[in-house]
Amino acid sequence: MAVQGSAAPHSSPEALTRRERSLCHGINPWLAPLAMWLTQDVALSGFFLGGVRVLGGEHLPRRGPVLLAPTHRSRWDALMLPRAAGRRVTGRDCRFMVTLDEMTGLQGWFLQRLGCFPVNPRRPTAASLRFAVELLEDGQQLVVFPEGRIMQDDGPLRLMQGLARLTALAEGQGVPVPVVPVGIAYGHGKPRLGDRAALCFGEPLRLAGGEREHVAALNAQLLHGLGAAERTARAAVGRPLQRP
Model pLDDT for residues 181-209, shown as the tens digit of each residue: 999 999 999 999 899 999 999 999 999 98
Q: What residues have CB less than 8 Å from 224, skipping those under 6 apart? A: none
Kindly provide the residue ranges of all beta strands, DSSP E only, lying in 60-204, ordered along the sequence.
Answer: 66-70, 94-99, 117-119, 141-144, 179-186, 197-201
**Surface-to-core class of residue 77, CB atoms within 10 Å of its CB (0-12 exposed, 13-18 middle, 19+ buried):** buried
The pLDDT of residue 16 is above 80: no
- Using alpha carbons only, what angle is made at residue 10 by residues 8 and 15, rounded to the nearest 5 degrees? 130
Residue range 21-65, pLDDT digits in tens = 667 767 888 898 999 998 888 888 877 888 899 999 999 999 999
Give the pLDDT confidence of 215-234 residue by residue, as tens digits. 999 999 999 999 999 999 99
Q: What is the pLDDT of residues 64-92, one digit of tens each?
A: 999 999 999 998 999 999 999 999 999 99
Contact yes or no for 177/67 (Cβ under 8 A): yes
Tell me, yes or no, if the pTM score tops 0.85.
Answer: yes
Structural domains in the chain?
13-236 (3.40.1130.10)
Neighbour-count burial for 167-205, b at 16+ CB within 10 Å, e otherwise? bbbbbebebbbbbbbbbbbbbeeebeeebbbbbbbbebb
Of the pLDDT bands very low, low, confident and very high (cuts 50, 70, 90), residue 19 is low
Torsion, Cα of 105, 106, 108, 110 (10° steps): 170
pLDDT at 166: 94
The helix (H) or strand (E) run that includes residue 54 is strand 52-55
